Amino acid sequence: MDERRMRSEAADGMLRGFWYLAVSARNLKPGRTHPVTLLGEALLLGRRADGSVFAVSDSCPHRGMPMRHGSFDGQVLRCCYHGWAFRSDDGCCTEIPSLAPNDRTDPARFRLRTYPARDVQGNIWVYVGAAGAEPGPVPTVPGFEKEAPQVTTTMRFPCGVDLAAWGFFDPGHPAFVHTSRWWKKDPASRLRLKEKGFEPEGMGFRMLRHHLKEGANPYRLLGHNVRIDIGIQLPGVRIEHIEGDRHSACVLAAATPVTATETDVHYCVYWTIPWLAPLRPVAAWMARDFLNQDREVAERLTGNPALPAPLFVGDPDAQVRWYQRLKKEYLAAREEGRAFNNPLRAQTLHWRS
């Protein structure tokens, strides 16, 4: 990776070399395209007639017309300006309509940049990294192999990816921020001492499986003996797996940087409770309400013109501190051209929440 890009990566806080959840798969119908911005790069996602998905640069190599304004026939993209046609699989230009028949110019010299894209468990993931890099597996939720989420919500946060991701593992804030009546009653007055074990895993850490003593209301739907484990991975993906004696559920949360100052937070809930299907709109409303409380925090913070450097104090802030250390190690490993070495150790944390 070139040095200039490396420096900008360290400065803008957006990590290249990862899969990012771009949009819910339901936003991408066969034969259609969908523009997105990921890590400051304008992309065009598409779904071919056969259902497969792709992602290309949303900028025509001829004069830079955004490809979103062109057409797509389910296989080939055509720019709206001079009509150049591009294959959706490798981005190769196949036709320059204005060339005379005896012109020797080979259209294949020109191509749209392509990005690896996958449709997994109801979401479209795009790999943003060096061109030609070999991406690893897409993050998946356990136990819902081919299923789409029952509830999916995306909200744009007016902040960088760190602040948006911190909300996934900051146990000091829910009692004060997530105060909806459906979630917990008067939580600030009911803080309880918690003890949780953690261990490093991959490019992140895992809160070890534990039994839920006194569940928040939605968890009671899974039955008795509810167990939870939570995995956090760079660049900002949280997968919570909750299993009761009757049903199980997973919550996937992903923070996807749009630019250095805007982040899409995706929140997907998967469950195995068949009779809950008619309540999906209610669950979706609850998820939006919950997410909006975090968005408001981001809005208020970024509205502070004299925002100080953040403090990470004691065990309640340990996970946020770990996330920052993981990011730092990731950047250092890339800069030094060596393998990532997870800097965390197994540990038990105590806090009140």
- Sites of contact with ligand FES (CB under 6 A): 60, 62-63, 65, 79, 81-82, 84
Q: Within 10 A of 181 (CB to CB), how many other CB atoms are there?
A: 8
Selection from 29, 25, 40 nearest residue 118 by Cα? 25
Cα–Cα–Cα angle for 307, 309, 314, rounded to 5 degrees: 125
Query: What tokens were used for 209?
Result: 């499986």
**Residue 294 interacts with which of Fe ion, ligand FES, none, CB < 5 to 8 Å by class:** Fe ion
Please report how close the Cβ of residue 312 comes to Fe ion at its closest, in angstroms: 17
Binding mask 64-83 for Fe ion (x = CB under 5 A): --------------------
Question: Which residue, 219 or 340, has its beta carbon nearer to Fe ion?
Answer: 219
Please report how close the Cβ of residue 65 comes to ligand FES at its closest, in angstroms: 4
Residue 46 within binding range of Fe ion, rule CB under 5 A? no
Query: What tokens were used for 82?
Result: 């001079």
Q: 65: buried, middle or exposed (CB in 10 Å: 19+, 13-18, 0-12)?
A: middle
Residue 9 within binding range of Fe ion, rule CB under 5 A? no
Determine the size of the site formed for Fe ion (CB under 5 A): 2
Residue 162 within binding range of Fe ion, rule CB under 5 A? no
Region of residue 74 (left: phi > 0; alpha: psi -120 to 50; beta: else)? left
Q: Is the bond preceding residue 235 a cis peptide, omega within 30 degrees?
A: yes
**Residue 271 interacts with which of Fe ion, ligand FES, none, CB < 5 to 8 Å by class:** none
**Residue 276 interacts with which of Fe ion, ligand FES, none, CB < 5 to 8 Å by class:** none
Residue 294 within binding range of Fe ion, rule CB under 5 A? yes
E strand spans, 16-174? 18-24, 33-38, 41-47, 53-57, 71-72, 76-78, 85-87, 93-95, 114-115, 117-120, 123-128, 151-157
Question: Which residue, 285 or 346, has its beta carbon nearer to Fe ion?
Answer: 285
Please report how close the Cβ of residue 62 comes to ligand FES at its closest, in angstroms: 3
Question: Which residue, 124 or 155, has its beta carbon nearer to Fe ion?
Answer: 155
Question: Which residue, 38 or 265, has its beta carbon nearer to Fe ion?
Answer: 265
Among 13, 46, 167, 171, binds Fe ion (CB under 5 A): 167
Please report how close the Cβ of residue 23 comes to ligand FES at its closest, in angstroms: 24
- Spell out a b/e string for 145-179, using b for 16 or more CB atoms within 10 Å of the CB, else e: eeebbbbbbbbebebbbbbbbbbbbbbbebbebbe
Which residues in this chain contact Fe ion in the complex, by CB under 5 A?
167, 294
